[in-house]
Structure 1
Amino acid sequence: MEVKTGLILGYNGVHPFSKVNITDRASVQELLRTLLDPLEPFFSPLKARVKCPGATAVRFDQTASEVEGICRPLWGLACLLAGGGDYNGTEWWIQGIKAGTDPESPEYWGYPRDNDQRMVEMCPLGYALAVAPVIWQSLNEKERGNVENWLGNSINEKNMPNTNWLWFRVFANLGLKKQGGKFSQERLDRDIEHLNTFYRGDGWSNDGPEGIHQMDYYSSSFAIQFLQLLYAKLAGEDEPERAAEFKKRAQVVALDLIHYYDNEGRSIPFGRSVGYRFAMVSFWGAMAYAGVELPEPLTWGMVKGVVLRHLRWWQTQPDIWSPSGTLTIGYTFPNMYLAENYNSPGSPYWACLAFICLAVPADHPFWTSEEQPLGDALPKIKELKQPGHIMSYLGGHCMLLSSGQACSYPMKGTHAKYGSFAYSSAYGYSVPPGLFTLEQYALASQLGLSDDGGEFWKARRVSEYAGLEHRPHDDDPNGKGKGKSTTPVLVSVWKPFPDVTVRTTLVPPAEETPNWHLRAHRIDAAGRAVMTADGAFAISNERRADGRYLDAWDATKCEGTSPRIIGNYDLATPEGWAGGRQGAFAVSKGAVGIRALEDIEGKKKVGRSAMLVNADPNSNIVESRTLIPTLQHTVGKGEVVWYVSAIYAKPSGEGVAPESYLDGWEKVPEIPAWLRAEMEE
């Protein structure tokens, strides 16, 4: 095999990643090689560092950033070698490990301090040592001592964040243990015992101790569940009880996690670090790797389908690459507004976790089964108690409603990554590229409140109360009927200002109106007047024919907006506004919209108005130019107001005719009887 170097993606260039016909194990091996090959020109002279294109700074030093560049791709390379695959560039990493751990080398990685980023990169190195013996066997006695000192002794002496990071020290020690190197069993055991205190039940672990509610992909594919399964595989013979517990947790949580993926191959973007892209499916390969028996109704054909369809979907995203063929910071395109302060140019290669499936033997049913769709075996609506989510497969996309999660430390766009009301596999969330007016706040699936006339906005971040509750169906008002007699709802209470309280209730779609979900807000503006803006999903603001901004709705083209796109505060142009009940929608890649339902006949009219927010470019993580159908209103000081918003979504997709995008728009759901009763109280 010839290693291809010097890749340059010019105008209309196609990355080799997108050319692989993904059908079997060998094709996924080739897919990984297309990720590793473009890194070759960016290795340092002694191969200890990889400086990926991009001069962006992060919260840690440049050397640590370049250590990320060499260590994160090790996830893929180690899995390839563990499964019997080969790569001609393997020697680059072996030489780099030798130089990087040698204190006398000019490319020494440096002794880690407390809470040092280097500790994260010790995890893939520890795993690689454990499963790819060629690395350890290529080291002489002095070089092995260097690795022991850097990988084991240094991390065992230092403080670490009280999060999933503790798993990284476990794997540093485990990698040395598997090769007979010096390690600390006492530290390893203490870390796992402490990590077990993060366990909350139903298979879910929190990313931190009591008092933190953060259950995103770190709780599954990026770290905790993933590393529990790898540990069960590698240490299971010596620690059968611990391995059995980790496998049991995976079996239970699998029936929840399956709801984050759709049949188009997409995952629901939720939480931080979504720039790790295809690592979102690594949990499923780890299940196979650890020899876990799937719980019914899951099959290996379904699991294989989730993983391979996901990789194929990323093949259709040509803008994830730099011109030199390396992964960029972003989601479907380069996007620094999305980035966390720890996302260096080498950071996206945590995506290589997805290739754990290559360490799975060729005769495992993961590889021998025929791919299967998720099918009708899964419930269309499912409540997930631990993360505080209600999942839905109705309406042509995979969607979750969320309440109660919040990042435990200041993070860019944290209110969008955790505090939005709804997240969709078809319509990604939006982050603010600036902090001035609605265009920059880009409040997709969020309620914003402003006390200064619309310049600065506050959205839900931390909830004083968040709970998964149940309400009776309208045909069973007492909730005492047989079968499915109640509807799950998410209730949260939050304060955008100290003297303004919002109580939000999220209601999932119903089979009769599958493209709609409801959100009800009770706003008590006790201390000040506030403007409000309630946003639907963000959708592409590009015409199919030429990529220009959308025009007014044209039924003959099945494209456009209603009302017209005018401006967020242009009240002098009536055609840019509509009544709240009439609502606003936009049609491009499917359709999204929002209507106000609270103006019930015989009641005092609230009088919200509908319009389109022309969000600043690059605010959304999936589409670079977007519109957000939005309802606006002002609540006077001392007023208590109820809003009931109906949010419409029907994504484009295979077999979905553009003529059908608005089929459900006129079939608006009714306010449930229980909600009317709550409003009247």
Structure 2
Amino acid sequence: MTEPLKNGLVLGYSSPRHPFSEVPLTDRSSVQQLLCTLLDPLEPFFSPLKARVRCPGATAVRFDQTASEVEGICRPLWGLACLLAGGGSYRGTQWWIDGIRAGTDPEGSEFWGYPRDNDQRMVEMCPLGFALAVAPGIWEGLNERERGNVERWLGNSINEKNMPNTNWLWFRVFANLGLKKNGAKFSQDRLDADIKHLDTFYRGDGWSNDGPEGIHQMDYYSSSFAIHFLQLLYAKLAGGDEPERAAEFKKRAQMAALDLVHYYDEDGRAIPFGRSVGYRFAMVSFWGALAYADIDLPAPLTWGMVKGIVMRHLRWWQTQHDMWSPSGTLTIGYSYPNMYMAENYNSPGSPYWACLAFICLAVPETHPFWTSKEENHWDVVPKIKALKHPGHIMSNLGGHCMLLSSGQACSYPMKGTHAKYGAFAYSSAYGYSVPPGLFTLEQYALASQLGLSDDGGEYWKTRRLSDSRLTATPDGTSTPLLVSLWSPFVDVHIKTYLIPPSESHPNWHLRAHRIHAAGRKVQTADGSFAICNERAADGRYLDPYDPAICEGTSPKLIGNYDLATPEAWAAGREGAFAVSLKAGAVGIKALEDGERTAMLVNADPNSNLIESRTTIPTLQGTVEKGQTVWYVSAIYAKPSGKGVRKEEYLSGWDEPPEVPGWLREEIARDGKGSE
């Protein structure tokens, strides 16, 4: 028996069901309804004067509690403003008008406070500025004195303060733009100067970096979270006054679209990469912004394909039933609540940056975005593509979208930064894993990473900073290749090659490591993707593989501390794999005749973005002080999915690709390898 909750949730024995999951997504009106299921649960958490929203969760962030609650009211404005701009309505619109009135009143009890340098309030000025620009009813709902308060809070204060040298500068642009659109006092000089500086982040072919020279960070902030998204909104809103600037922003979007399309698979999933992926469906906002800005799509893309990307993405998130709090609000996390993957700026209201995805609601219902039939872009775009500027090789072979990556790194200290930027591979099916602790492999959770330890396996170092280049394999096949040089210790030097899947081996990609342990002995651990570690029958950890039910691991998965069990280890060439009826199969094999062994790491719970319990097939080895070795690893991944039978999960496992001839020759020339 189920019991309806006050906010419309239905709670059953097995899992809660949120109204968000119950909306059949077919057209514009259904997406409007979907947005309302996000806004409705916020109602009990508004402050008395409506200026703040304190979402459930007592977690702290690097800024003050008031700023956290300003996030709570301003971030949902992205969705509400888009709804109103498209002619829609919402029963609680007055809450936000009242909240803006109270929050910008310096004499009121719920005043937001003027920002200081680098203040989080500046971020929240962006959705407020956009809302003022596109939803006239907000400004019209204020009297002359109240408009003056908004003008002073939104314009004067931010224009006088320092901001981080990142995408944040766009937030000040939109604060000024919102005032400009309503005839209020603003700074055109500051607006122009900020855009001029933001143009220095541009690297070419449509790509902008999230920062100045010396930083290589091209994640979703470069596209859907901020830079491309806001460039397109600006082109739409200010294009009449600045046609040349608008044309440039549109041109960049046209070029970038042909690259960004590779980050979304047929099932609607995006590839999680980089920071702030807790903004969830904001990862798809670029595509709705294309329609909002009236972009002429570059061939071979069609509006049916763009619509398909957005609608399938929202539908996939509708299947993620564990991402909600008991009150129906979004939680910090990805597919479930997870503080381990959170940044130090993720407050309980932070996830509502996801409302950027609803820019499509500001698109008229007569636009081909809405009138076209959904199409699959993978029918026409290449299955493998090298992306020069982010340093990615994109793949859509073997049942998932995957990217191989080298060279990116966050420019400031960030929790799990090596996992968010420095891993070798990122998958739409398996997500990445972050360390919930810093002791032994179970806590480091080295999915798609090579870890090295010089203390017997207690602490592990991985790739974070590297010198990298994107090239082609030297065999004349034009297969893209990523090469990176990195040093986990000052006297241990590694060259890593990343080689994408091929049509003949769609479920495999290769990584090769030349490790020179000049000054110390190191243990190594090379991990595959992480996969769900739950038996379908009862949710317990996976047993040894049983071909009768097509589920389990090989070798045996052992507990965290029982490392001496002989049946838990296999030869490196034999490899290790895990098969989940829910998620498919992943594994790893050594292609060199070395001394590596294969096993399953029982990763600590909540380390992976998508599955709360995971295991990671891993190869382990030892490199003696002064020794140079070559490791060549073949990584297997065959996700579950439509049309994939469980009997097929391991169909390619016994036929890994061979070591490429050019790589065998390099190993032989090096004189250190065994090939």
TM-score category (smaller protein): over 0.9
2:652 equivalent to 1:664: yes
Alignment of 1:342-361 (within 5 A): 342-361=345-364
Alignment of 1:117-516 (within 5 A): 117-463=120-466, 465-472=467-474, 477=475, 479=476, 485-516=477-508
| Contact 2:424–2:498, Cα closer than 8 Å, also in 1 | yes
Structure-2 separation of matches of 1:566 and 1:316:
31
Structure 1 partner of 2:83: 80
| Contact 2:47–2:54, Cα closer than 8 Å, also in 1 | yes
2:619 equivalent to 1:654: no
SS of 2:631's partner is strand
- Give the superposition deviation at 1:8: 5.4
Structure 2 partner of 1:603: none
Aligned length in residues: 661
Structure-2 separation of matches of 1:442 and 1:648:
18
Structure-1 separation of matches of 2:281 and 2:496:
33
The one-letter code of the counterpart of 1:430 is: S
- The CA RMSD over aligned residues, in Å, is 1.0
Structure-2 separation of matches of 1:572 and 1:532:
18
SS of 1:643's partner is strand
User: Could you tell which deviates more after superposition, 82-91 or 542-551?
Assistant: 542-551
Structure 2 partner of 1:558: 550
Structure 2 partner of 1:602: none
Q: CA deviation digits over 1:34-53, x for unaligned, max 9?
A: 00000000000000000000
Percent identity over paired residues: 79
Structure-1 separation of matches of 2:378 and 2:431:
23
- Give the superposition deviation at 1:598: 1.2
Aligned to 1:47, which of 32, 47, 50?
50
- Give the superposition deviation at 1:560: 0.2
Structure 2 partner of 1:112: 115
Structure 2 partner of 1:482: none
Q: Any gaps of 5 or more consecutive residues in structure 1?
A: 480-484, 600-605
Structure 1 partner of 2:595: 607
Structure-1 separation of matches of 2:563 and 2:157:
63
Kindly tell me: are residues 568 and 17 of structure 1, through their superposed partners in 2, closer, same or farther at Cα, counting changes over 3 Å?
closer
Extract structure 1 runs of 4+ deviating beyond 6 A: none
Structure 2 partner of 1:518: 510
Q: CA deviation digits over 1:250-299, x for unaligned, max 9?
A: 00000000000000010000000000000000000000000001101111
Structure 2 partner of 1:597: 591
The one-letter code of the counterpart of 1:470 is: A
- Give the superposition deviation at 1:373: 1.3
Structure-2 separation of matches of 1:6 and 1:625:
30
- Give the superposition deviation at 1:566: 1.9
- Give the superposition deviation at 1:607: 1.2
The one-letter code of the counterpart of 2:610 is: V
Q: CA deviation digits over 1:602-659, x for unaligned, max 9?
A: xxxx210000000000000100000000000110000000000000000001111000
The one-letter code of the counterpart of 2:554 is: S
Aligned to 1:641, which of 629, 639, 647?
629
Structure-1 separation of matches of 2:405 and 2:258:
18
Aligned to 1:616, which of 604, 612, 618?
604
SS of 2:473's partner is strand
- Give the superposition deviation at 1:10: 3.6
2:507 equivalent to 1:532: no
Aligned to 2:538, which of 529, 546, 561?
546
Structure-1 separation of matches of 2:169 and 2:470:
30
Q: CA deviation digits over 1:194-240, x for unaligned, max 9?
A: 00000000100000000000000000000000000000000000000
Structure 1 partner of 2:673: none
2:34 equivalent to 1:31: yes
SS of 1:285's partner is helix
The one-letter code of the counterpart of 2:435 is: P
- Give the superposition deviation at 1:6: 4.0
| Contact 1:430–1:538, Cα closer than 8 Å, also in 2 | yes
Structure-1 separation of matches of 2:470 and 2:435:
28
Structure-1 separation of matches of 2:574 and 2:10:
47
The one-letter code of the counterpart of 1:678 is: E
The one-letter code of the counterpart of 1:311 is: L
- Give the superposition deviation at 1:163: 0.1
Q: CA deviation digits over 1:69-118, x for unaligned, max 9?
A: 00000000000000000001000000000000000110000010000000
Alignment of 1:14-29 (within 5 A): 14-29=17-32
Structure-1 separation of matches of 2:416 and 2:213:
23
Q: CA deviation digits over 1:503-537, x for unaligned, max 9?
A: 10000001100000000000000000000000000
| Contact 2:452–2:525, Cα closer than 8 Å, also in 1 | yes
| Contact 1:561–1:587, Cα closer than 8 Å, also in 2 | yes
TM-score by length of 2: 0.97
| Contact 1:5–1:40, Cα closer than 8 Å, also in 2 | no
SS of 1:96's partner is helix
SS of 1:21's partner is coil
Structure 1 partner of 2:615: 627
Structure-2 separation of matches of 1:152 and 1:630:
54
Structure-1 separation of matches of 2:562 and 2:91:
61
Q: Any gaps of 5 or more consecutive residues in structure 2?
A: 670-675
